[in-house]
Amino acid sequence: MSINGNANTDSLRDFTDGYTETNETSPLLRHGAATIRTRGASFASSVFNLMNAIMGSGILGLAYAMAHTGIIGFCILLVGVSCLAAYSIHLLLKICDQTGINSYEDLGMQALQKPGKVLVGLAILIQNIGAMSSYLFILKSELPAAINSFSNSENTGGAWYEDGRLLLIIITLCIVLPLSILPKIGFLGYTSSLAFFFMVYFTVVIVVKKWSIPCPLPHNATSFSTAYQISNSSDSDCTPKLFVISSKSAYAIPTMAFSFLCHTAVLPIYCELDRPTKARMQNVTNVGISLSFLLYLISALFGYLTFYAHVESELLLSYDRYLPRDVLVMTVRLAILLSVLLTVPLIHFPARKAAILILFGGRPFSWWIHTIATLVILGVVLLMAIFVPDIRNVFGVVGSTTSSCLLFVFPGIFYLKISNQNFRSFDSIGAIFLVVFGLIVGVFSFSVIVITWVQGP
């Protein structure tokens, strides 16, 4: 399951070995081509791959974002972020066609020399560490509930399998680490093909369960939530808000940026596309982002209309309070957990590649470097997942920093530096807007989030 957008980058690059020069072939693929290219991926499979790169754990935080921006406010922001994501990919494709470059890091090198390549590599490393942390956080919060559900146990005491941190350490050491330390992990790429179906199933269940939970919410199920303890049984809680502005609204755009980031996978997908042209790849992008937008909107809307202001920052936790033994919720939880578990090693690969690139450059493969980098990255990810109290913190911080850079700032800067277009051209003005928007949103959101932490609840 490609929950953070970057999981299949390395494996997809393996398909870029050579292409026939035809009138339908992009300059990106003719650059240095010397062999005959076999038939590439179809339009539909490329859309599928892109959606696997887009959709991920961000979908679990969007209902929370809607609760703190309002339905109309959320829709406006979601449309804006998705359109800007598609437009920034348009700029990347244009400069890739001009230069023949097929990796995000090399675009940074072309635009800003070595500092640019290091900066992009660092952003990808932090982004993927944040993504892996969010997935392990999901395992920490959901795995004990899943075990309890399937074991039909009423015990809420100190059983070892109810300790999410202990389970997370065991899972990391026994499953994630052995898979991550392999030099190649291409076989796990096939498991990500299930991601789209899991997300569709997740969305369908969210819609169906809207009518399984009464509103006002039962007081006894949420009485331990101090933030809403007084108003739990109020009918006003069942009135959807169209616009909401609060300090928690600052998490909305970063969460959306986190959810739509797929830019490091776009170029490899472009390279493996059958009859690759910029227009054809742009259509792949538009369809993939549109379908992802639809699933995001439906799941966020019905998740919000189920719990309203009481929705958790990780949506499945809300269902755990009210439908702990529900079969559909149990199967969704199991599907998400399985996908998350198999995706973490996939996302680890580009993170480790970026770390080795930053520290050792183009040094030949070394098992020592490979192993140490694997252990250090997984150690950092595990510590973050264990000690970060709320998944919205991961979405907020990573989304406002590296996601904003990779989604908005870098494509705009790279286009302005590499393209030979006049600064008054439409795309140059659009690139300037992307850079300014990304910087403003990133700095503002990050500042509000930090202020919120300092002030406390």
Q: Please name the residues in contact with 203: beta carbons below 8 A apart, sequence gap of 6 or more.
A: 295, 298, 299
Which has more pLDDT, 263 or 293?
Answer: 293
The pLDDT assigned to 32 comes to 42
Q: Work out the widest C-alpha separation in the chain, in whole angstroms.
A: 70
Q: What per-residue confidence (pLDDT) applies to 351? A: 87
Residue 134 binned pLDDT confidence (cut-offs 50, 70, 90): confident
**Does residue 153 surpass a pLDDT of 60?**
no
At residue 135's C-alpha, the angle toward residues 130 and 140, to 5°, is 120
Q: Report domain extents, the chain.
A: 9-455
Bridge partners, residue 403, by sequence = none
pLDDT given at position 300: 94
The model's confidence at residue 6, banded by pLDDT at 50, 70 and 90, is very low
Q: How confident is the model over 322-342, as a mean pLDDT?
A: 82
CA distance 302 to 307: 9
Over residues 244-262, the mean pLDDT reads: 87
Burial class of residue 239 in the structure, from the number of CB atoms within 10 Å of its CB (0-12 exposed, 13-18 middle, 19+ buried): exposed
Band of residue 28 on the pLDDT scale cut at 50, 70, 90: low
Q: What is the mean pLDDT of residues 365-372?
A: 89
How does pLDDT run across 159-179, given as a tens digit for each residue? 777 788 899 999 999 989 998
**Confidence (pLDDT) at 448:** 85
At residue 103, the 3 state secondary structure works out as coil
Average pLDDT in the chain: 81
pLDDT tens track for 370-411: 999 999 999 999 999 998 887 788 888 888 889 899 999 999
Three-state SS at 391: helix
Topology of domain 9-455, CATH: Amino acid/polyamine transporter I (1.20.1740)
Average confidence (pLDDT) over 342-357: 85
> Residue 412: its pLDDT value, please?
94
Residue whose C-alpha is closest to residue 194's, from 54, 1, 4, 360: 1
With 60 as the cut, is the pLDDT of residue 14 above it? no
| pLDDT greater than 80 at residue 33 | no
How far apart are the C-alpha atoms of 125 and 230, rounded to whole Å?
43
Averaged over 60-83, what is the pLDDT? Answer: 93
pLDDT surpassing 70 at residue 81: yes
Per-residue confidence (pLDDT) for residue 313, from 0 to 100: 83
Neighbours of 101 (CB within 10 A): 22
Q: What is the pLDDT of residue 340?
A: 80
Which of 270-274, 382-386, 431-435 has the weakest average pLDDT? Answer: 270-274
